[in-house]
Amino acid sequence: MAVDKKQDTLFTKDNYVWMAIGGAVMLLGLFLMMGGKSADPNVFNPKEIYSTQRITVAPILIVSGLLIEIYAIMKKPKE
């Protein structure tokens, strides 16, 4: 006797795809914030430390990734 019951899950495949995209965007932001290593660790180079990539682009990507994660969690499945 087979019982046909619909399994209600909290998230669908679409939610998980959006979560993966958000995670990838955040990882890209963290990778860009990390930057590269200095040629000489004894010399302070403000152009490397305070570059647009580290100060502007990376935080924007991290916040965007967090917003994508919020969207992925709040997204309702299609009926």
Q: Can you give the pLDDT at residue 55? A: 93
Q: Can you give the pLDDT at residue 49? A: 82
Taking the mean position of all CA atoms in its chain, how far away is CA 57? 13
Question: Sorting pLDDT into bands at 50, 70 and 90, what band is 66?
Answer: very high
pTM: predicted TM-score of the whole model, two decimal places? 0.80
Does 7 reside within a domain? no
Does 3 reside within a domain? no
Does 51 reside within a domain? yes
Contacts 24+ apart (CB under 8 A), 11-18: 11/73, 12/77, 12/78, 14/75, 14/77, 14/78, 15/72, 15/73, 15/75, 15/77, 16/72, 18/68, 18/69, 18/71, 18/72, 18/75
Q: Can you give the pLDDT at residue 21? A: 98
The whole domain housing 70 covers: 13-34+44-74
How many structural domains is the chain composed of?
1
Task: Answer yes or no: is pLDDT of 22 > 90.
Answer: yes
Does 26 reside within a domain? yes
Radius of gyration of the chain measured on its C-alpha atoms: 20
Does 39 reside within a domain? no
In the block, residue with structure tokens 């399994």:
7
Least confident of 9-18, 29-38, 67-76: 29-38
